[in-house]
């Protein structure tokens, strides 16, 4: 996969994410926010942002609200042109989510609104817009929550259209939508966490390398690559050529786990491009996810993280 022409992230239920950090907070308190930021997000845009941090050009596609479309494009400009915005404008405004981070007690709370951007009209326009940018060699990453059940058929049609144009499809979602997408036979890679993998297979799975590899192999008749995120335990990748586990070696203060799974997937795609080997790609993925957790992606370079964060990867 080192010869792909482009990475295109596709988010159907994006959001504005506001992160408020407190140096300790309890219910009922009135406190001043220690720091906060708000940016266009959702899993697909998080992946785009992670790729840009590593210097990897990509295209951000999907739906975005017409009411705040210009605000979004302005917010994306600091990425230095590494992310080309090709969003499809949908009627209305983009949802706004809030994450509260208690840095003193190392805990988080995530408050999520429902996305109401999807419609038959918007999804037909998105399908047409993707046809203009997807070609043989593209990697299309469909990431994040999917629209309501009534629109899943439209999403499947869009994915099949991208696959027919020669794209490799990555699915990073969950629930019934993921099951239906997998049933198309069009998916190349999935990236569930342990809980999502259990839901997908309908069984309890031991959160151990051996247990996750056994579970991942059950899906290799439908996909070629299964990347499983394990939070602070690292990750596991399963392919027909072998399986590997990886974790960070060394410790630092975890500032936030928000988006770490998205950065893991971005790092894996970057690693595949650079080294064309799943085991080495997992090592890159672990470093990128760790950099996100430690807060390095906000103030340090990818080059520094690549050389200073250590990852241990071994075959399972």
Judgement on whether residues 169 and 267 belong to the same structural domain of the protein:
no
Please check whether residue 57 lies inside any domain of the structure: yes
> What angle is formed at CA 109 by the lines to CA 198 and CA 54, rounded to 5 degrees?
75
- Kindly list the distances between the CA atom of residue 56 and the CA atoms of 35, 266, 292, in Å, as whole numbers in the listed order: 29, 10, 16
Q: Which of 190, 213, 234 is the last residue of a domain?
A: 190
Mean pLDDT of 139-146: 96
How many structural domains comprise the chain? Answer: 2
Least confident of 1-10, 31-40, 65-74, 237-246: 1-10
pLDDT for residue 182 is more than 90 = yes
Task: Read off the pTM.
Answer: 0.91
Burial (CB count within 10 angstroms: exposed 0-12, middle 13-18, buried 19+), residue 177: buried
User: Is the pLDDT assigned to residue 102 strictly greater than 80?
Assistant: yes
Domain for residue 102, yes or no?
Answer: yes
Which CATH number is 274's domain given?
3.40.1190.20
The DSSP secondary structure of 143-197, one letter per residue, reads ES----GGGHHHHHHHHHHHHHTTPEEEEE--HHHHHHHHTTT-EEEE--BHHHH
Q: Which of 171, 190, 209 is the last residue of a domain?
A: 190
Residue 3 has what pLDDT?
Answer: 67
Reported as a single tens digit per residue, the pLDDT across 168-180 is 999 999 999 999 9
Examine the pLDDT at 258 and tell me if it is beyond 80.
no
pLDDT of residue 275: 79
Residues 76 and 158 in one domain: yes
Measured distance CA(54)–CA(50) in Å, rounded: 7
- Paired strand residues for 37: 19
Mean pLDDT of 246-254: 87
Rounded mean pLDDT, 109-118: 90
Mean pLDDT (whole number) for 78-82? 90
Per-residue confidence (pLDDT) for residue 44, from 0 to 100: 97
Average the pLDDT over 46-69 and give the result. Answer: 97
Which of these, 281, 295, 296, 211, lies nearest to 246 by C-alpha position? Answer: 281
- Partners of 41 in beta bridges: 15
Q: Which domain holds residue 291?
A: 192-316
pLDDT at 112 over 90: no
Whether residue 165 is found in the same domain as residue 306: no
Together in a domain, 199 and 185: no
Task: Say if CB 19 and CB 99 are below 8 A apart.
Answer: yes
Percentage of the residues of the chain whose pLDDT score is greater than 90: 82
């Amino acid at each position: 996969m080192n010869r792909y022409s482009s990475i295109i992230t596709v988010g159907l239920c994006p959001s504005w994410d506001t992160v408020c950090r407190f140096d300790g907070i309890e219910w009922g308190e009135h406190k001043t926010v220690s720091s906060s930021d708000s940016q266009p997000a959702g899993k697909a845009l998080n992946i785009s942002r992670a790729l840009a941090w590593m210097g990897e050009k990509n295209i951000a596609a999907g739906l975005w609200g017409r009411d705040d479309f210009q605000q979004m494009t302005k917010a994306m400009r600091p990425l230095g042109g590494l992310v080309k915005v090709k969003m499809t404008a949908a009627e209305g405004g983009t949802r706004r989510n809030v994450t509260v981070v208690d840095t003193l007690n190392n805990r988080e709370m995530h408050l999520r609104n429902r996305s109401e951007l999807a419609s038959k009209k918007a999804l037909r326009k998105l399908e047409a817009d993707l046809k203009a940018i997807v070609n043989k060699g593209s990697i299309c990453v469909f990431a994040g929550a999917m629209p309501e059940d009534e629109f899943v058929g439209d999403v499947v049609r869009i994915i099949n259209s991208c696959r027919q144009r020669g794209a490799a499809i990555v699915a990073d979602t969950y629930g019934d939508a993921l099951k239906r997408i997998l049933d198309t036979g069009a998916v190349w890679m999935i990236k569930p966490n342990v809980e999502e993998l259990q839901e997908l297979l309908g069984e309890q799975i031991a959160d151990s390398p051996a247990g996750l590899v056994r579970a991942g192999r059950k899906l290799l008749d439908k996909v070629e690559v299964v990347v499983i995120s394990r939070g602070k335990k690292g990750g596991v990748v399963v392919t027909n050529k072998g399986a590997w586990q990886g974790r960070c070696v060394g410790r630092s203060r975890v500032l936030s786990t928000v988006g770490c799974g998205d950065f893991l997937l971005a790092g894996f795609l970057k690693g595949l491009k650079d080294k064309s080997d799943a085991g080495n790609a997992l090592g890159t993925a672990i470093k990128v996810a760790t950099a996100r957790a430690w807060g390095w992606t906000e103030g340090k370079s990818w080059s520094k993280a690549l050389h200073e964060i250590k990852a241990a990867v071994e075959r399972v």
